[in-house]
Structure 1
Amino acid sequence: MAGFLDSWTTGSPSGSESSYPGERFGVPESGVGSVAGFGRRLAGVTVDWLLSYALTLAILGMDALGGTTIGWWVWLVWFVVTVVPTALFGMTPGMVALGIRVARVDMAPTVGFRAVLRTVLLGVVIPAVIRDADGRGWHDRATQTIVIRSRA
């Protein structure tokens, strides 16, 4: 099974040993640029979801809370709030608040269109909670990205 997953989730060769998360990508062990912890990542996406709820209610009105499609509207707003800033700047509003950002493993300046696939997989949730030794979920492995700290 590991061989199958490694075939489409390149960027973290299985079997290679490292002394800290992100070492194989050349990121520091701690401080700015080091791998962001799961708590910061979870808090960042939570801020983005809450912002998406607020924006959805601002657009649709409070009457939308009783509707059956509110969840889909929130997901669509969250998708836009996540994809656009991640593609352009490498961070969402929640990531800015928590001091983290998304970077490509080749350290290219922008994430670009990889943000679309990354966000779709993050929205499915399961790939995000199954993580490797570097703390990267399947959504990061599939898009060859890593979440790092942008401030101390």
Structure 2
Amino acid sequence: MGVEFGYRGQRLGLPEQGPGSIATIGRRVVAIFIDWFLCLVIAYGLIAHRDAAKSNTWTLVVFGVVSLLTLATVGSTPGKRIMGLRVVRLDGGRLGPLAVVIRTVLLLLVLPAVIWDRDTRGLHDKAAKSVQVRI
């Protein structure tokens, strides 16, 4: 027997399933791989002029820029949109520019993104007061 904490997102007032519920870990991982692959293609083909050593550094830069621009404007990166996810404030609104910058910088550091609470929100989401939900 263990302690019953309820479903993921219950503490945040989110539904258990369907639109507006917390995104599953699997969808979020696939979304970030899609984003990383797209940024790798951009960095390798357009910026680094097919130099593999340069493309690794440029991929991180492109990933940061794409995350900043797309989250600030539409609330989803291309990978998140493909997987049916969106990043919103805890009250359901769009993230402000400062929150997008905080979230992206912490995501680029990786460690804050892999430390989760029981709602599977990473430290980068907690710092930005955001949550990834299904659309």
TM-score (norm 2): 0.90
Q: For residues 81 and 96 of structure 1, what CA distance do their matches in structure 2 show?
A: 13
| Counterpart check, 1:112 vs 2:96 | yes
Match of 1:75 in 2: 60
Aligned to 1:40: 27
Residue 52 of structure 1 corresponds to 39
Q: Is residue 48–residue 58 contact of structure 2 (8 Å, CA) maintained in 1?
A: no
Higher relative contact order (CA 8 A, sep 6+): 1
Contact 2:47 2:58 in 1 (8 A): no
Percentage of pairs with the same residue: 39
What is the SS of the residue equivalent to 1:24? Answer: coil
Are the equivalent residues in 2 in contact too, given 1:87–1:112 (CA < 8 A)? yes
Spell out structure 1 runs of 4+ moving beyond 3 A: none
TM-score w.r.t. structure 1 length?
Answer: 0.81
Shift of 1:104: 0.3
Q: Find the aligned partners of 1:128 and 1:61 in 2 and give their Cα distance.
A: 27
Q: Aligned partner of 1:112: which letter?
A: G
Q: Is there any run of 5+ residues in structure 2 with no aligned partner, and where?
A: none
Q: Does structure 2 retain, via aligned residues, the 8 Å contact 1:45–1:94?
A: yes
The answer to whether the Cα contact below 8 Å between 1:31 and 1:149 also exists between their aligned partners in 2 is: yes
1:99 is matched with: 84
1:142 to 116, 127, 130: 127
How well do the aligned residues superpose, as a CA RMSD in angstroms? 1.4
Of 94-103 and 53-62, the range deviating more from structure 2 = 53-62
Q: CA deviation at 1:60?
A: 2.7
Per the alignment, residue 121 of structure 1 pairs with 106
* Structure 1: gaps spanning 5 or more residues: 1-16
Moved more, 112-121 or 137-146: 112-121
Aligned length, in residue pairs = 131
